[in-house]
Amino acid sequence: MTYRVCFVCTGNICRSPMAEHVFRRHVEEAGLGGLVEVDSAGTGGWHEGDGADPRTVAVLEENGYTSAHTARQFRASWFPALDLVIALDEGHLRDLRELARTPEEAARIRLLRSYDPAAGTGLDVPDPYYGSREGFEECLDMVEAASEGLLAAVRLELEERTP
């Protein structure tokens, strides 16, 4: 059975596609590519159909990641098919919890940086959209730092599913 993870930010052109590509590579390098499906979406639909922000693409590609992406809006109807919904900041967390129709769906929503033990209490990945390229590089650093912990959590979930 495939384990499904969806990263969610505001418009699905900066933070969540970055997290999607970084985490997908971690999954593949761990040999879990056939067991874990990685995706992303936005809380809003303003950019549906667009590619990732060019700064996101540049930072990903310069760091050896893939970058192909088409933005889309998260739908409440997706919850039953997802094992984890990863919010990039507290606002997304709130929005997603409002979309959840059951306590079980709400329990699947987590903040990305909660998987980074060095994150402390600041668990938001700041939105780099209105800033400089430096913000996109900072975003990548935060996503990479949380990906190892997230991978460990997903691996544990997969092990618990195996009889």
Catalytic center residues: 9, 15, 127
Tokens standing for residue 132: 């400089």
| Contact by Cβ (8 Å): 86, 6 | yes
DSSP 117-156: TT-TT-------TTS-HHHHHHHHHHHHHHHHHHHHHHHH
The residues, any chain, with a CB within 8 Å of residue 108's CB and separated by 6 or more, are 79, 82, 83, 84, 85, 100
Neighbours of 30 (CB within 10 A): 15
62-95: string of b/e by CB count within 10 Å (b at 16+)?
eeebebebebbebeeeebeebbbbbbbbeebbeb
Counting every residue, how long is the chain? 163
